[in-house]
């Protein structure tokens, strides 16, 4: 599977071009399934899911002009025969995974059986994540709850890429996501970790990582012991 891990969706032409390259054809000729599940633990989660599906959320995903678009609700899958949904996942060109609470989203990816299916998909499928939807494919989220009761799930990600990431770097509406805040987050990550802003995405094909950006980003704790900033 190929990955396009974003902070805020297909937010600029460079990220859009990266998506088309990964698909290998125009978006208008591609099918997609959108996954809204991660947003439900938030107080306005139901509204957020609706805005995502309708294509009026702040982060462009569903409104890109897909040939066909469906909804894959992870909490419903355990009550559905696998023969009714797994073939649909295998046949789709792109999975659009909305943001939200990564622990909750990762929990339902496992409980629903989707995580097992993802592990078997080839490079014909593109995984497009937004924020928490991008974080879940990492080995670890680097998220702690300081003694508070965490959401259902654990801090262990799906491990489909070999680095952690977090979005919204220097977003003026999110003061905790300053560079200093992300440095504090990265200190708890056992391995390489990217902090990216809303104009940046990370493309991964066959384990090769490429940063696509019209903004700025930082790589913390790379294997050579240094840091990289753009």
Which fold, 2-229?
Answer: Rossmann fold (3.40.50)
Which tens digit of pLDDT belongs to each residue from 103-145? Answer: 889 999 999 999 999 999 999 999 999 999 999 999 988 765 5
Average pLDDT over residues 66-82: 97
According to DSSP, the residues that pair with 120 across neighbouring strands are none
The share of the chain scoring above pLDDT 90, in percent, equals 73
Q: Taking all residues of the chain, what is their mean pLDDT, rounded to a whole number? A: 90
Give CA 6 to chain center in angstroms: 6
* 8 A C-beta contact, residue 93 and residue 56: no
Confidence class for position 224, pLDDT limits 50, 70, 90: very low
pLDDT at 21 over 90: yes
What's the whole-number mean pLDDT along residues 34-44? 92
- Residue 147 — pLDDT band, cuts 50, 70, 90? very low
pLDDT at position 181 is 87
* Eight-class DSSP state of 151: P
Determine the Cα–Cα distance for residues 3 and 218; give it in Å rounded to an integer: 19
Rg, C-alpha atoms of the chain: 16
pLDDT value at position 226?
A: 46
Say which residue, 70 or 43, is predicted with more confidence. Answer: 70
Within 8 A by CB and 6+ apart from 75, the residues are: 37, 40, 108, 112
Q: Token digits for 218? A: 């930082």
Q: 0.85 exceeded by the pTM?
A: yes
Averaged pLDDT for residues 168-185: 88
pLDDT of 156 above 60:
yes
Total residues belonging to the chain: 230
Residue scoring higher pLDDT (42 or 213): 213
Residue 25, pLDDT score: 98
Dihedrals φ, ψ of 118, to 5°?
-55, -40
| pLDDT beyond 50 at 42 | yes
Q: Containing H/E element for 25?
A: none
Q: Which one-letter DSSP state was computed for residue 69? A: E
For the chain, which residues make up each domain, given as ranges?
2-229
pLDDT confidence of residue 148: 43
Instruction: Indicate the helix (H) or strand (E) that contains 153.
Output: none
- Residues 174-194 have a mean pLDDT of 88
pLDDT > 70 fraction of the chain, expressed in percent and rounded: 90
């Amino acid at each position: 599977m190929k990955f396009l891990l974003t902070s805020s969706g297909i937010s600029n032409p460079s990220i859009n071009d990266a998506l088309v390259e990964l698909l290998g054809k125009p978006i208008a000729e591609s099918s997609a399934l959108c996954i809204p599940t991660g947003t439900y633990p938030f107080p306005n989660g139901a509204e957020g899911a609706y805005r995502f599906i309708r294509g009026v959320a702040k982060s462009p995903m569903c409104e890109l002009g897909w040939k066909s678009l469906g909804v894959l609700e992870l909490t419903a899958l355990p009550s559905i025969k696998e023969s009714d949904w797994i073939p649909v996942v295998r046949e789709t060109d792109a999975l659009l995974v909305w943001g939200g609470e990564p622990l909750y989203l990762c929990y339902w990816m496992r409980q629903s059986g989707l995580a097992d299916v993802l592990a078997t998909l080839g490079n014909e499928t593109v995984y497009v994540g937004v924020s928490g939807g991008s974080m879940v494919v990492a080995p670890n989220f680097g998220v702690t709850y300081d003694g508070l009761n965490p959401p259902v799930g654990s801090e262990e990600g799906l491990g489909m890429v070999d680095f952690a990431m977090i979005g919204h770097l220097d977003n003026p509406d999110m003061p905790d996501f300053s560079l200093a805040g992300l440095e504090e987050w990265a200190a708890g990550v056992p391995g390489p970790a990217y902090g990216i802003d809303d104009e940046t995405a990370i493309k991964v094909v066959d384990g090769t990582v490429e940063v696509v950006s019209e903004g700025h980003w930082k790589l913390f704790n790379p294997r050579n012991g240094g840091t990289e900033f753009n």
